[in-house]
Amino acid sequence: MTDALLLETREDDKTAAWWRQAAVYQIYPRSFADANGDGLGDIPGILSRVDYLADLGIDAVWLSPFYPSELADGGYDVADYRNVDPRLGTLDDFDAMVEALHARGIRVVVDIVPNHTSDQHEWFQEALAAGRGSAARERYIFREGEGPDGSEPPADWVSTFGGPAWHRVADGQWYFHHFATEQPDLNWDNPEVRADFVETLRFWSDRGVDGFRIDVAHMLTKDFAEKLPTSAELDLIPKDGNHPLIDRDDVHEIYAEWRQVFNSYDPPRTAVAEAWVAADRVPKYASPDSLGQSFNFDLLEADFDAPEFRRIVTENLALAATSGSSSTWVLSNHDVVRHATRYGIPVAQDSDAPTRHGGQWLLDGGDESVLDREKGARRATAATLFLLGLPGSTYLYQGEELGLHEVAAIPAEDRQDPTFFRTGGDEIGRDGCRVPLPWSADGDSFGFGSAGAHLPQPAWFADYAADAEASDPSSTLSLYREALRLRHPLQTGETLEWIETGRADVLRFARPNGWQVVTNFGAEAFDLGADAADVVLSSRALEGSVLPGEATAWIAPAGLLG
């Protein structure tokens, strides 16, 4: 790393590069805090908790969609990109929230969902009414069906959420949807679609939003031949930039245009791609001509395993360097089983990702007898401190700072996730990580609101209440607060050096200024020797100079913290 980059990194907080090593906290607005007592979290609810966010010590919040939506996919079915869902508040409420967060030095990132709209979006309603051949249908992907009367879908493709990916409308045409039926894909070949999203980006940037998280950023552009491949044929097409549906090189033409928009603001607006693509394809999204940063989900998909963590970190730092971006780290979000739970259940033996990472446990009914909550919690905090010590940005998901576990026991009639319904229950889905937060140990909906919660909260949520944890120095919340507080003065250049520990299950690395992180992935204690005197934080208390199993310690040589 050059001296110039080191210097720039230290100044990140104040400069346009604030995002490079930020701790970003994801808010799933409908489950965060409910101010108007309708069971759904809302923007005034977030406003009422800005001091909590400031005390937590994060650098930015990322808000999952808060736009008008029929909630066919938890808000990722957007009916109006330039408004707030009336159940969640108003644009004035949004402005007040941004102002309050900014006043506390917290930046605001919002989710943009450009691959598909809601079927309630005025464009789609217009397309349905206008009929085949109309300009309105050209904003989406409509096709005639197969078979003599067109009653067969244009292709046998399966949607990401299960079930068919083509849906027939009343006049006999079919439209394509990667996700739920209520989420028709937009036609990104249409200049009107492109222009409209530029307007949306400007709309929120003008309101003071600092950055954007781009939903399924690798899916927007498509190339449909006259005769569509079958699903089996589609699977065989390499994802090398020319696949008809996924990770096409031409998607970056869109982001190059967006980049001009981002850079027309001072400071430039930032963006992070949600792109589930092969590692060597990530730098394209993270390049400064494109979105600038991309999620890396490798640690989220990894077991709690030292060699695996080391390999992933090394690879991703090298990849980030090739694009000039910083790396991103994430263990939990609104789409996966919470990491405290993943780490507390036996690792499923099959290698199929959706079931392996807690999905099988959910399918088996979320058996409490195989969940070791304490072990999950120990490993989760050890892994989080490891991540927060890495160069780059860390994305945290609401509730993980409380040590929350996945909620498995949700009756079928209360479930909301379309994956549950579209797979006929073969996948349980993501509701269990979206249950509204417990703010207090008692009271209606554990302080979430005054009239229940839109997903049922279990009785054990009382043990994870924010108010109790806030006054308990040994709580997960106190650990997160201390880690995020210390991370600012400890932050340094974007590199690390591995230090051999003599143990395959213990990782140790040093950052350029001497800040060191030691994570013991094993059960056996690890002796830090004389360095124990410089430990400034640990996820489990040291016993003398010994770091217990499944724990992380931060070491800061004298003088580093002033």
- Binding footprint of ligand NOJ on the chain (CB under 6 A): 73, 76, 113, 179, 215-216, 274, 334-335
Work out how close the CB of 216 gets to ligand NOJ at its nearest, in angstroms, rounded to a whole number. 5
CB of 29 to ligand NOJ, least distance (A): 13
Q: How far is the CB of 117 from ligand NOJ (least distance, A)?
A: 11
Q: Are the CB atoms for 33 and 40 separated by under 8 Å?
A: no
Q: Which residue type is seen at 477?
A: L
Q: Which is nearer to ligand NOJ, 417 or 469 (CB)?
A: 417
411: buried, middle or exposed (CB in 10 Å: 19+, 13-18, 0-12)? exposed
The tokens describing 494, both together, are: 């974007």
Length of the chain: 562
Give the nearest residue (CB) to ligand NOJ: 76
For the residues of 315-348, what is the DSSP string, one character each? HHHHHHHHHT---EEES--TTS--HHHHTTSPPP
| Residue 52 in tokens | 């909590």
Strands 393-397 and 23-27: parallel
Q: 123 or 526: whose CB is closer to ligand NOJ?
A: 123
Please provide residue 19's backbone torsions phi and psi, each rounded to the nearest 5 degrees.
-75, -15
Measured from the CB of residue 56, what is the shortest distance to ligand NOJ in angstroms?
A: 22
| Coil, helix or strand at residue 258 | helix
Q: Which is nearer to ligand NOJ, 64 or 539 (CB)?
A: 64
Which residues on neighbouring strands pair with residue 518, listed in sequence order? 508, 553
> Minimal distance in Å, beta carbon 274 to ligand NOJ?
6
Nearest distance, CB of residue 220 and ligand NOJ, angstroms: 12
Smaller CB separation from ligand NOJ, 76 or 142: 76
Both structure tokens of 532:
């124990």
Kindly state the smallest distance separating residue 434's Cβ from ligand NOJ, in Å. Answer: 9
State which residue, 239 or 485, has the beta carbon closest to ligand NOJ: 239
**166-168 vs 174-176, strand pairing mode:** antiparallel
Nearer residue to ligand NOJ within complex by CB, 274 or 400: 274
> What value, to the nearest 5°, has the Cα angle with vertex 287 and ends 282 and 289?
140
Cα 446 to chain centroid distance, Å, stands at 25
- Judge contact between 93 and 33, C-beta under 8 A: no
The smaller minimum CB distance to ligand NOJ, of residues 419 and 457, is found at: 419
Nearest of 255, 253, 258 to residue 198 by alpha carbon: 258
Shortest distance in whole angstroms from residue 295 CB to ligand NOJ: 10
Helices (H), 472-531: 476-490
Instruction: Indicate the residue among 313 and 410 with the shorter CB distance to ligand NOJ.
Output: 410
